[in-house]
Amino acid sequence: DTAVSQTPKYLVTQMGNDKSIKCEQNLGHDTMYWYKQDSKKFLKIMFSYNNKELIINETVPNRFSPKSPDKAHLNLHINSLELGDSAVYFCASTLPGLRGGYTFGSGTRLTVV
Amino acid sequence: GENVEQHPSTLSVQEGDSAVIKCTYSDSASNYFPWYKQELGKRPQLIIDIRSNVGEKKDQRIAVTLNKTAKHFSLHITETQPEDSAVYFCAASIPGNQFYFGTGTSLTVIP
């Protein structure tokens, strides 16, 4: 009965590869996010979708492409992975108006070698 | 957008002492301020929040205070325990669709 689930939990891949991370929430939330947490622990917003519509698109390389097939799912595809993409990626979701704050997924630790 | 600053970046306290983490924000329209706790290798989890129409909120050993005039808010943890050791993030939101996070405080409680 996990509220926000991400897969995979760990991802080790070589430079230049393409990979995807998946996120699903069963909370009935309308808004979902992708955050990147680097080694200094800073939480940097990347994208947000509200009911399948892209509403936040921060300055990230266009190698990163989000996709929301429905309001319960938000996936992140990364092309041509680089060493600097190594980080923990968190999915999060929330109710309209940010009521109750974010519920975060368990994170995906991406290591590019 | 909003700019949230958080201090200190690291904090060590003896078990049983109090810990205080402070945040400032820039946009006077911000009206909701949650605090998240992130244990090592885990996800950030909401521990307490406060809205702009309230000056203080308590939940057992944790409390948050808000000074709207000065645009700062603080997290207070009393009678700290080793399990309080974690990274704590403050956040602020202007009425809208995202939180702006502080840079985090790594709290270590020494037994």
CA-CA distance, A63 to A67, in Å (whole number)? 13
Over residues A76-89, the pLDDT tens digits come to 999 999 999 999 99
With 90 as the cut, is the pLDDT of residue A49 above it? yes
CA-CA distance, B90 to A73, in Å (whole number)? 27
A61 CB-near residues (< 8 Å, 6+ apart): none
Q: What are the Cα distances from residue A45, in Å, to A48, B14, B76, B99, B102?
A: 8, 34, 27, 9, 12
pLDDT of residue A31: 94
A99 CB-near residues (< 8 Å, 6+ apart): none
Radius of gyration for chain A, computed over Cα atoms and rounded to the nearest angstrom: 13
Contacting A residues, span 26-55, partner chain B, CB-CB under 8 Å: 31, 33, 40-43, 45, 48, 50, 55
pLDDT of residue B97: 77
CB contact under 8 A, A106 and B106: no
pLDDT band at A1 (very low <50, low <70, confident <90, very high): low
A5 to chain B, any CB pair closer than 8 A? The answer is no
The mean per-residue pLDDT over the stretch A36-52 comes to 92
| Phi, psi dihedrals of residue B45, rounded to the nearest 5° | -130, 140
B59 CB-near residues (< 8 Å, 6+ apart): B47, B48
Contacting A residues, span 51-90, partner chain B, CB-CB under 8 Å: 55-56, 90
- Per-chain mean pLDDT for chain A: 94
The mean per-residue pLDDT over the stretch A60-69 comes to 94
Sign of CA dihedral A99, A100, A106, A111: positive
pLDDT of residue A5: 95
CA-CA distance, A5 to A54, in Å (whole number)? 20
B60 CB-near residues (< 8 Å, 6+ apart): none
Q: Which residues of chain B have pLDDT under 50?
A: none
B30 CB-near residues (< 8 Å, 6+ apart): B2, B52, B71, B92, B93, B94
| Pair of tokens at residue B70 | 């000065």
* Higher pLDDT among residues A51 and A89, named by residue: A89
